[in-house]
Structure 1
Amino acid sequence: MKFSVDRDVLADAVAWAARSLPIRPSVPVLVGLLLDADESGLVLSTFDYETSATATVSADVSEPGRALVSGRLLADICRSLPNKPVDLQLEGARVTLTCGAARFSLQTMPVEDYPTLPAMPSATGTVDSETFAHAVAQAVTAAGRDDMLPVLTGVRIEIDGSTISLLATDRFRLSQRELDWNPNSPDESAAALVPAKVLGDTAKSLTAGPEVTIALSHGGVGEGIIGFEGHADGGLRRTTTRLLDGEFPKVRSLFPSEHQTTALVDKAALVESVKRVSLVAERNTAVQLAFSDGVLTLDAGSGDEAQASESVEATIDGEDITTGFNPQFLLDGLGAIDEPVVKMAFTQASKPVVISGAVQEGGGDSGFRYLLMPRRLLS
């Protein structure tokens, strides 16, 4: 194997593929990054039996071949190289990398021990890359992080014709984001439970190109796998990941169809108030929110401990209501909303609040809703 490649193109592709390398691999060979060079260019791949990442770049290949080297070491080396063309050559059991006056020699690992990468399922449709990345970032806000409940560490992707819905919950909050996309079939219908961390990292890394292709198997090749593909300045990027097993809870019914009280509040003012008031909130205690007479009053702390109170203007429609929430969960939801004014909709104090962006008349639906369970208030 022998090829030459642009330094920036190689560094970007290696960094992208290496981001999926396992920290504690089940077998040593999984720390490797596979280099596969032929007349069509260079392909860099990583795979940990769950998630694969493949970057395809243009390269001047004089001798086709394959080599497996430490992915993180190669990424560190590429980041440090001068801005000159990179020459890479396989010599026996070592790979020699030359860039200007810099020269590195890396030990290879046995290619034959590396697992076969999973096949990419057939394309299901495409979506604008920036829109998709933002929607995923909103949805993963409510995803669980407890590995003891793996089904809640995923984001449920539901495809219904030209609409994608993203749902996530950790039992205390629930996020829902809907967006339009371009399905290959107008009556496309599918669902998948994707690990939230993989989905978030992948969507964020595929914004260089105009769109992302989503590939979800309906049986046969790629069963139980979802794939994402996009373009970068240096070439093609592709990720596949194994879907999570288990039944995602039926959460759509948790969003109430009617509300007794709604409040419109300036998002920036509310965020700053929650941050200040929560400074005196004991761990795992709520910040109280009282809505009355055009004012939202926030309180935290009790008894002989430190206390804080602050008021924010609010446009309130309906009955007065007093409730309380985990301040960090509340801030997470507010931070995921784009609009400058948030709408908080209640049925009663003991029921969840639905938080969304207040869209101006004629502006359509923001597509994002965040449902948050209340916390018991200290007496």
Structure 2
Amino acid sequence: MKLTIDPKLLADTVAWAARALPTRPPIPVLAGLMLAAHDDQLDVSAFDYDMSMRATIPADVAEPGLIVLPGRVLTEIAKALPTTSYVEITADNREAGIRCGRSDYTLPTLPADDYPTLPEPPDPVGSINADQLAAAVAQVAAAAGKDDTLPMLTGVRIDADGGQLTLAATDRYRIAVRDLTWAPNGAPFGHLIPARHLHDITKGLGHGDVQIGVGDGLAAFTTGSRHTTVRLLDDQFIDYRKRISYEPAITATVDAATLAAAIKRVGLVADRTTAIRLAFDREQVLVRAGGADIGRGSETVECALTGDPIEIAFQSQYLLDALGAIDGTAHIGMDGARKPALFRSGDDSYRCLVMSLRVS
């Protein structure tokens, strides 16, 4: 292999593909990035059996070839290369040379024959703005569980029905749901994608539209010349629509950012698992936390209440995640101090059902 390439383009592409490098590779070669040079372009790929990433970028290819280089080392080298001159990469079966300006590196190659075949992305079934998708995933992924022994709880459910795309996640203590509009070109579907992978994928989509494909146990996300696939989880999931579709007896309307800031300040006298108490009356909510042994904090925030005054308590991080996903006005629906509360955005596109805490 022999080629020259723009250093910034190489660094950006390698850093993007490195998102798929496994922390503990099941086989040594998967710690590498695969580089395939052909037809005046370079393909950069990474794979960990659950997720694959492949990008194609222009290059001046003098000798085509395929090599696998240590991924994390290559990423650091590419990031550090000067941008004043082009990068020259030459390689044989044993090692690769990377030269840019006065910088010169030699890396051992990994056995390319041992690298597994990357899955082919399924055909697109619709498209959506990448920024909107990334924001929606961030809103719901916080509610996904972390316990891998319960795979259903570690995923984000994506349901497509006509022009509406719905994302949902739950860890049993809360359910977060976000509705989006998109442009479908396939049949309705519902699939469960690992939340951690989906969050990583959508953070690196960039701007513009992303094509989404599903099929053969995979979901695919394509933007320009970058393709990502991720293996789907079992489709079993809770009936989240029924649980968030009701009208509570009590509704508090409050600025989400103002209430979140008050919770953070009051929470300085408590740890992440300590209950935050919210006492709602007609014109304000009293935020309280702490106790005699650790100190106490309180603050009032303006709000409007429909229904009877109520005092209810929540785990602080669950409160902050729900309020942090809402821009502007938040509507908090409650049916009692020991029942879940429904947090809704002003346009009702985001809903999060949060379990309350029983406190004395």
Per the normalisation by structure 1, the TM-score is: 0.92
Aligned residue in 1 for 2:41: 41
Counterparts in 2 of 1:282 and 1:203: CA distance versus 1, 3 Å: closer
Q: How does 1:205-354 map to 2 (within 5 A)?
A: 205-208=204-207, 210-217=208-215, 223-231=216-224, 236-245=225-234, 247-281=236-270, 284-338=273-327, 340-354=328-342
Whether 1:367 aligns to 2:356 is no
CA deviation profile, 1:300-352 (whole Å, cap 9, x unmatched): 223454222221111111111111000111011111112x2211111222211
Q: CA deviation at 1:242?
A: 0.5
Counterparts in 2 of 1:283 and 1:177: CA distance versus 1, 3 Å: closer
CA deviation profile, 1:210-268 (whole Å, cap 9, x unmatched): 10000101xxxxx101110113xxxx111101111262122222114221111111223
Aligned residue in 1 for 2:203: 204
Counterparts in 2 of 1:312 and 1:366: CA distance versus 1, 3 Å: same
Counterparts in 2 of 1:288 and 1:26: CA distance versus 1, 3 Å: same
Whether 1:356 aligns to 2:344 is yes
Could you tell me how far apart the structure 2 residues matched to 1:94 and 1:75 are? Answer: 16
Could you tell me how far apart the structure 1 residues matched to 2:136 and 2:276 are? Answer: 28
Contact in 1 for aligned 2:254/2:302 (Cα 8 Å)? yes
**Helix, strand or coil for the counterpart of 1:19?**
helix
Aligned residue in 2 for 1:362: none
**Helix, strand or coil for the counterpart of 1:307?**
strand
Q: CA deviation at 1:101?
A: 1.4
Aligned residue in 2 for 1:220: none
Counterparts in 2 of 1:92 and 1:269: CA distance versus 1, 3 Å: closer
Contact in 1 for aligned 2:36/2:66 (Cα 8 Å)? yes
Name the amino acid aligned to 1:155. V
Whether 1:133 aligns to 2:134 is yes
**Helix, strand or coil for the counterpart of 1:275?**
helix
Q: CA deviation at 1:113?
A: 0.5
Aligned residue in 2 for 1:55: 55
CA deviation profile, 1:28-48 (whole Å, cap 9, x unmatched): 111011001111511010111
Q: How does 1:67-82 map to 2 (within 5 A)?
A: 67-82=67-82
Q: Aligned residue pairs: how many?
A: 359
Could you tell me how far apart the structure 1 residues matched to 2:241 and 2:67 are? Answer: 48
Name the amino acid aligned to 1:25. P
Could you tell me how far apart the structure 2 residues matched to 1:291 and 1:262 are? Answer: 10
Counterparts in 2 of 1:178 and 1:66: CA distance versus 1, 3 Å: same
Contact in 2 for aligned 1:35/1:45 (Cα 8 Å)? yes
Q: CA deviation at 1:283?
A: 5.7
Could you tell me how far apart the structure 2 residues matched to 1:246 and 1:357 are? Answer: 27
Q: How does 1:100-139 map to 2 (within 5 A)?
A: 100-139=101-140
Contact in 1 for aligned 2:42/2:57 (Cα 8 Å)? yes
Could you tell me how far apart the structure 1 residues matched to 2:71 and 2:188 are? Answer: 38
Give percent identity, aligned residues only.
43
Aligned residue in 2 for 1:361: none
CA deviation profile, 1:69-128 (whole Å, cap 9, x unmatched): 101111110011011201111134111111111111111111110001011101111111
Counterparts in 2 of 1:52 and 1:311: CA distance versus 1, 3 Å: same
Could you tell me how far apart the structure 2 residues matched to 1:38 and 1:269 are? Answer: 55
Per the normalisation by structure 2, the TM-score is: 0.96
Counterparts in 2 of 1:95 and 1:304: CA distance versus 1, 3 Å: closer
Could you tell me how far apart the structure 2 residues matched to 1:316 and 1:322 are? Answer: 12
Could you tell me how far apart the structure 2 residues matched to 1:285 and 1:39 are? Answer: 60
Contact in 2 for aligned 1:285/1:375 (Cα 8 Å)? no
Aligned residue in 2 for 1:31: 31
**Helix, strand or coil for the counterpart of 1:106?**
strand
Could you tell me how far apart the structure 2 residues matched to 1:284 and 1:330 are? Answer: 11
Q: CA deviation at 1:280?
A: 2.4
Aligned residue in 1 for 2:167: 166
**Helix, strand or coil for the counterpart of 1:3?**
strand
Contact in 2 for aligned 1:141/1:336 (Cα 8 Å)? no
Could you tell me how far apart the structure 1 residues matched to 2:68 and 2:261 are? Answer: 50
Counterparts in 2 of 1:258 and 1:284: CA distance versus 1, 3 Å: same
Structure 2: give runs of 5+ residues left out of the alignment.
none
Name the amino acid aligned to 1:337. I
Could you tell me how far apart the structure 1 residues matched to 2:144 and 2:248 are? Answer: 25
